[in-house]
């Protein structure tokens, strides 16, 4: 098969006869307009509001290309469009090829008869998604709920039309994302040709995998120009497996069972190597035609276990027979303009997940089915993927054309992604079952109230057709063995009120938003624990440097127009302030406020993550909302749009460690827990100290400590006199705990204060950062003469520290390393941090600044 990419394109507004401008494909209209200097940076200030005209307009893209002689001679020639966003009419040399209506599908057209040797003219007209879908709303006669669709901002009043388009839902705005309803060619366009025979798909179906043997079937889709005898050989790990087959003209599937003894298994990070195995299939026809194709997969068995137990029903992933505690976050697209996400940005994201000890990411249903590289990286780094289909927080139409479109979308994507060992679950949608709450009159988000009983039944029937029938059928047919979960969150499909999840459900997965949306205290994270918590979160601001990318100095206040434009969750900025007044000392200025907002978020998430992990095995998964951002904004993300780790990402790295010592301030004292996510058991000594803020040891204690593989246990409860001798003041002491192995190595550490941050006797820091000689600016010794709370190290180069936002105890200096991603590299490498400065909470507090 020969394949060339059609790479050189121009574009212009349709129907205006303006000059053609250079376009970048893959790309979209917004970024093409920006590159040509026709619009200003969409992310800057309030520019978003002025760019809403773009989606009311049709756009045209054109390319001229030559076809290689051998392609013209081939039996079959196809144009393959991997992604057209969204309503597109395509012509080649004036002849109509196809009309597309789904961003998530792969579109193909036979072009053999139309192709010339040179000067082929490919033309795509993108019809405005707004003009296209408004009539569909008219025709339906009533609106469908679409909570996050920012139609007003788009100038459409209350006409929320996102649900009619098979297009990334977040393009229409979300509670962390701007409204940029793009159009364009968002994935490559290729000219593909072949003669004789070709392998158009190779699927390694994993029928039964264990440590003894992997029984797989190579499912090979073969297209033949003519019938005739052939030999297929599948090579894996140097061994050839053969099948003689009589091919028919056209498309057929050949299946070849293969047994691999003692396979190298694919494990998620923390449990073992993420070993990958390559399979090559080759078909040789007796008439001389031949083709081959290679795929990479990981051999593993995976199962979503939902078994009844004394507490309810379990919900966990079993990988190669081992129960896995899932640790990670929810992923959204890395950019409002998805084709702007370079491979290095993907590398940074997935490496950041692995570096922070995660083993799972949920690709949330309001974005896109991700690019191949996302899954490749997850495969390589042992990050399991919970894959939503792209439906979120809305009800969808269910007419036949819509269903057919969704079916084709599901087939394209499940087929494209099914060799990735990282994908452990397909999930129908985000939050729709619980938002509509069909069987609970007063449940859900109040959507049902707007509809007559007939309308309700019809809307729900449409829902069931997609999420209880069409999507599970596609997964079962195309990726057998991988679990399907209809909606997140959900208890189970009981078809009664018991179906819809609530935060304390003892079955299914839960989303807990009482903290944040319902302004409940952080401490409720310790109470509202489900079997698998697939969402919970707390907002913060990006750091000062990132805020300055969209705001001027004059905009730097919480309720300025620009800061509010970069906060998409109505009450968000006020909520951050409210919680800060509850938990942290008042910051001295706006930069200090930004910093404290990050500590606030990090402390909230630490409380949640560790509470979830301590409840293992009742709870077996914790995925916070949200991993990343699609533009610079105040949001629940742990790393900002520029990939800069917020305090939260560093905190998550500590709280997700496979061996965790967790210090829980209970109200009466401090409990020390040990959580062991490893398969092997642990043994050691727990060394506990009480220190004052000058570093003086006030009390010490040692107890033996052990935990079996996969166990969480309470090691020690400290209270009363034992915790705090009369001579000491609770506002200026901390408890440190270390788990030390028999050979003296440190297995885990934790610390806790006896009071909240508002009560602590903090002081401005005098932190000493000393570069370690010979480290080329990549390693530092950090020390303080008095306790420094939440020490923030800042470098003037981009990169990550091995640790940051930590409490620094006098007499206990720490060494930190600085690493960065080299372009094209697959891991972080030691790098020169440039100038490094350090500050702490004591420097941010208003009362202390006034004194100083
Ligand atoms: C959950 C997510 C998103 C949303 C987030 C914060 O509901 O599924 O829809 O962005 O909460 O509100």
Find the Cα–Cα–Cα–Cα dihedral 819, 371, 151, 183, rounded to 10°: 120
The answer to whether 707 and 658 have CB atoms below 8 angstroms apart is: no
- 364 CA distance to ligand 1 centroid (A)? 9
- 534 CA distance to ligand 1 centroid (A)? 11
- Residues in the chain, total: 852
How does 65-80 read in b/e, with b if 16+ C-beta sit within 10 Å? bebeeebeebebbbbb
Q: Return d(Cα 672, Cα 651) in angstroms, integer.
A: 18
pLDDT value of residue 81: 98
Q: Distance from CA of residue 411 to its chain's centroid?
A: 22
Candidates 533, 625, 628: which one to mutate for ligand 1, based on the most atoms within 8 Å of Cβ? 625
pLDDT value of residue 378: 98
Look at ligand 1, atom 1, and give the residue with the nearest C-alpha: 535
Look at ligand 1, atom 9, and give the residue with the nearest C-alpha: 393
CB-ligand 1 contact for 388 (6 Å cutoff): no
List average pLDDT for each run of 10 residues in the chain, which is 852 residues long: 94 94 98 98 98 98 95 96 98 98 98 96 98 97 97 98 98 98 98 97 98 98 98 98 98 98 98 98 97 98 98 98 98 98 97 98 98 98 98 97 98 98 98 98 96 97 98 98 98 96 94 97 98 98 98 96 97 96 98 98 98 98 98 98 98 98 95 97 97 96 97 96 90 97 97 97 93 97 97 97 97 97 89 97 90 58
- The 8-class DSSP code of residue 458 comes to H
The answer to whether 610 and 630 have CB atoms below 8 angstroms apart is: no
Strand extents, DSSP E, 666-778:
669-676, 682-692, 697-707, 711-719, 733-740, 746-753, 767-771
Relative orientation angle of helices 590-614 and 572-583, to the nearest 10 degrees: 80
Residue 193: CB partners within 8 Å, gap ≥ 6? Answer: 1, 2, 3, 70, 71, 74, 76, 77, 78
As to burial, measured by CB atoms within 10 angstroms (0-12 exposed, 13-18 middle, 19+ buried), residue 260 is middle
**DSSP helix/strand/coil, 222:** strand
Which domains are present in the chain? 2-190 (2.60.120.260), 196-297 (2.60.40.10), 325-364+502-656 (3.20.20.80), 389-496 (no CATH), 657-761 (2.60.40.10), 762-852 (2.60.40.10)
CB-ligand 1 contact for 535 (6 Å cutoff): yes
pLDDT value of residue 825: 80
Query: What backbone phi and psi angles, to 5 degrees, belong to 44?
Result: -85, 135
Look at ligand 1, atom 7, and give the residue with the nearest C-alpha: 431
CB-ligand 1 contact for 391 (6 Å cutoff): no
- Locus of tokens 């993420």: 274
β-strand pairing of 302-305 with 316-319: antiparallel
Q: Distance from CA of residue 496 to its chain's centroid?
A: 32
Q: What angle do CA 165, 437, 172 make, to 5 degrees?
A: 25
Q: Return d(Cα 571, Cα 121) in angstroms, integer.
A: 51
- The 8-class DSSP code of residue 791 comes to E
Q: Return d(Cα 720, Cα 704) in angstroms, integer.
A: 22
Look at ligand 1, atom 4, and give the residue with the nearest C-alpha: 175
Q: Return d(Cα 640, Cα 547) in angstroms, integer.
A: 10
CB-ligand 1 contact for 170 (6 Å cutoff): no
Q: Return d(Cα 137, Cα 130) in angstroms, integer.
A: 11
* Nearest atom in ligand 1 to 537's CA: 6
- The 8-class DSSP code of residue 589 comes to S
- 62 CA distance to ligand 1 centroid (A)? 38
Candidates 175, 389, 432, 637: which one to mutate for ligand 1, based on the most atoms within 8 Å of Cβ? 175
- The 8-class DSSP code of residue 143 comes to P
The answer to whether 102 and 405 have CB atoms below 8 angstroms apart is: yes
- Per 3-state DSSP, the chain is made up of helix, strand and coil in percentages (nearest 5) of 25, 35, 40
Beta bridge partner(s), residue 795: 836
- 330 CA distance to ligand 1 centroid (A)? 10
Q: Return d(Cα 430, Cα 624) in angstroms, integer.
A: 14
**DSSP helix/strand/coil, 119:** coil
The answer to whether 349 and 643 have CB atoms below 8 angstroms apart is: yes
Q: Return d(Cα 215, Cα 322) in angstroms, integer.
A: 19
- 626 CA distance to ligand 1 centroid (A)? 9
* Nearest atom in ligand 1 to 365's CA: 8
3-state secondary structure 356-376: CCCCEEEECCCCCCCCHHHHH
- 141 CA distance to ligand 1 centroid (A)? 28
Beta bridge partner(s), residue 266: 274
Strand extents, DSSP E, 225-315:
228-236, 239-247, 250-261, 277-285, 290-297, 302-305, 308-309, 312-313
- 839 CA distance to ligand 1 centroid (A)? 33
- 634 CA distance to ligand 1 centroid (A)? 14
Query: What backbone phi and psi angles, to 5 degrees, belong to 816?
Result: -120, 150
Candidates 388, 393, 488: which one to mutate for ligand 1, based on the most atoms within 8 Å of Cβ? 393
Query: What backbone phi and psi angles, to 5 degrees, belong to 191?
Result: -105, 115
- Locus of tokens 């439906």: 391
- 392 CA distance to ligand 1 centroid (A)? 9
Q: Return d(Cα 289, Cα 197) in angstroms, integer.
A: 6
Of 773, 831, 777, residue with least CA distance to 800: 831
* Nearest atom in ligand 1 to 147's CA: 9
Segment holding 530, helix H or strand E:
none
**DSSP helix/strand/coil, 574:** helix
Q: Distance from CA of residue 391 to its chain's centroid?
A: 15
* DSSP states along 755-776: S-TTTS------EEEEEPTTST
Look at ligand 1, atom 6, and give the residue with the nearest C-alpha: 175
- The 8-class DSSP code of residue 527 comes to T
The answer to whether 508 and 489 have CB atoms below 8 angstroms apart is: yes
* Nearest atom in ligand 1 to 148's CA: 9
Q: Return d(Cα 187, Cα 369) in angstroms, integer.
A: 12
* Nearest atom in ligand 1 to 535's CA: 1
- 531 CA distance to ligand 1 centroid (A)? 19
CB-ligand 1 contact for 393 (6 Å cutoff): yes
- 535 CA distance to ligand 1 centroid (A)? 8
**DSSP helix/strand/coil, 114:** coil
Beta bridge partner(s), residue 96: 91
- 146 CA distance to ligand 1 centroid (A)? 13
The answer to whether 712 and 675 have CB atoms below 8 angstroms apart is: yes
Q: Return d(Cα 312, Cα 617) in angstroms, integer.
A: 12
- 389 CA distance to ligand 1 centroid (A)? 15
pTM exceeds 0.85 for this model? yes
The sheet carrying 2-5 orders its strands as 2-5, 189-194, 76-81, 107-110
Q: Return d(Cα 139, Cα 298) in angstroms, integer.
A: 48
The answer to whether 801 and 815 have CB atoms below 8 angstroms apart is: no
**DSSP helix/strand/coil, 227:** coil
């Amino acid at each position: 098969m020969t394949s060339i990419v059609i790479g050189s394109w121009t574009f212009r507004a349709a129907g205006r006869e303006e000059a053609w401008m250079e376009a970048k494909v893959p790309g979209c209209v917004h970024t093409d307009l920006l590159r040509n200097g026709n619009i200003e940076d969409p992310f800057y200030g309030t520019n978003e509001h002025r760019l809403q005209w773009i989606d009311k307009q049709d756009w045209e893209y054109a390319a001229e290309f030559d076809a290689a002689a051998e392609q013209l001679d081939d039996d079959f020639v196809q144009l393959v469009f991997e992604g057209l966003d969204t309503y597109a009419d395509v012509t080649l040399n004036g002849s109509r090829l196809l009309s597309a209506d789904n961003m998530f599908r792969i579109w193909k057209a036979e072009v053999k008869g139309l192709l010339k040797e040179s000067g082929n003219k490919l033309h795509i007209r993108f019809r405005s998604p707004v003009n296209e879908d408004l009539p569909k709303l008219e025709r339906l006669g009533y609106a469908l709920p679409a909570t996050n669709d920012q139609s007003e901002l788009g100038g459409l009043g209350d006409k929320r039309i996102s649900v009619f388009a098979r297009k990334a839902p977040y393009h229409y705005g979300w509670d962390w994302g701007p409204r940029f309803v793009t159009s364009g060619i968002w994935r490559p366009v290729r000219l593909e040709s072949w003669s004789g025979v070709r392998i158009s798909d190779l699927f390694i179906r994993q029928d039964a995998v264990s440590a003894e043997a992997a029984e797989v079937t190579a499912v090979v889709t073969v297209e033949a120009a003519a019938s005739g005898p052939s030999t297929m050989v599948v090579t894996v790990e140097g061994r050839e497996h053969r099948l003689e087959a009589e091919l028919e003209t056209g498309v057929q599937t050949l299946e070849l069972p293969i047994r691999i003894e003692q396979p190298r298994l694919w494990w998620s990070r923390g449990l073992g190597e993420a070993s990958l195995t390559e399979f090559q299939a080759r078909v040789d026809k007796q008439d001389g035609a031949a083709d081959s194709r290679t795929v990479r997969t990981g051999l593993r068995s995976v199962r979503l276990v939902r078994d009844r137990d004394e507490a309810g029903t379990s919900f966990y992933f079993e990988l190669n027979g081992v129960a896995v505690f899932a640790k990670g976050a929810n992923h959204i697209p890395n950019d409002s303009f998805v084709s702007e996400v370079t491979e290095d940005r993907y590398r940074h994201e997935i490496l950041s997940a692995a570096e922070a000890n995660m083993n799972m990411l949920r690709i949330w249903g309001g974005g896109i089915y991700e690019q191949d590289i996302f899954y490749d990286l997850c495969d390589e780094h042992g990050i399991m993927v919970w894959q939503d289909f792209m439906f979120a927080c809305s009800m969808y139409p269910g007419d036949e054309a819509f269903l057919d479109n969704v079916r084709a979308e599901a087939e394209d994507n499940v087929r494209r992604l099914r060799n990735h060992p990282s994908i452990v679950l397909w999930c129908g949608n985000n939050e729709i079952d619980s938002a509509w709450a069909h069987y609970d009159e007063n449940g859900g988000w109040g959507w049902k109230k707007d509809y007559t009983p007939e309308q309700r039944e019809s809307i729900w029937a449409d829902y069931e057709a997609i999420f209880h029938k069409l999507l599970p059928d596609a997964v079962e047919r195309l990726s057998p063995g991988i679990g399907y979960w209809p909606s997140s969150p959900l208890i189970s499909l009981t078809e009664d009120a018991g179906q819809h999840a609530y935060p304390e459900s003892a079955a299914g997965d839960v989303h807990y938003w009482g903290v944040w949306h319902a302004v409940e205290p952080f401490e409720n994270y310790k109470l509202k624990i489900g079997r698998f918590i697939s969402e919970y979160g707390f907002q913060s601001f990006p750091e000062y440097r990132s805020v300055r990318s969209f705001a001027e100095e004059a905009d730097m206040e919480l309720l300025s127009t620009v800061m509010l434009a970069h906060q998409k969750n109505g009450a968000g900025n006020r909520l951050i302030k409210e919680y800060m007044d509850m938990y942290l000392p008042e910051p001295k200025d706006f930069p200090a406020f930004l910093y404290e907002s990050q500590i606030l978020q990090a402390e909230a998430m630490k409380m949640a993550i560790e509470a979830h992990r301590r409840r293992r095995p009742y709870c077996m998964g914790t995925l916070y909302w949200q991993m990343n951002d699609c533009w610079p904004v105040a949001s629940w993300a742990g790393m900002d749009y520029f990939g800069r780790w917020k305090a939260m990402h560093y905190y998550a790295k500590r709280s997700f460690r496979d061996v965790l010592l967790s210090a829980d301030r209970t109200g009466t004292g401090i409990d020390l827990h040990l959580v062991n996510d490893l398969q092997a058991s642990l043994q050691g000594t727990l060394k506990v100290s009480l220190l004052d803020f000058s570093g003086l040891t006030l009390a010490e204690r040692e107890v033996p400590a052990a935990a079996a593989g996969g166990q969480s246990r309470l090691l020690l409860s400290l209270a009363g006199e034992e915790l705090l001798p009369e001579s000491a003041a609770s506002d200026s002491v901390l408890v440190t705990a270390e788990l030390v192995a028999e050979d003296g190595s440190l297995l885990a550490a934790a610390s806790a204060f006896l009071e909240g941050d508002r009560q602590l006797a903090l002081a401005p820091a005098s932190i000493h950062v000393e570069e370690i000689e010979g480290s080329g600016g990549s390693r530092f010794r950090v020390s303080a003469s008095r306790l420094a709370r939440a020490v923030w190290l800042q470098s003037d180069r981009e990169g990550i520290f091995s640790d940051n936002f930590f409490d620094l105890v006098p007499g206990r200096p720490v060494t930190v390393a600085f690493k960065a991603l080299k372009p094209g590299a697959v891991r972080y490498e030691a790098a020169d941090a440039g100038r490094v400065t350090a500050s702490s909470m004591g420097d941010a507090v208003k009362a202390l600044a006034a004194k100083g």
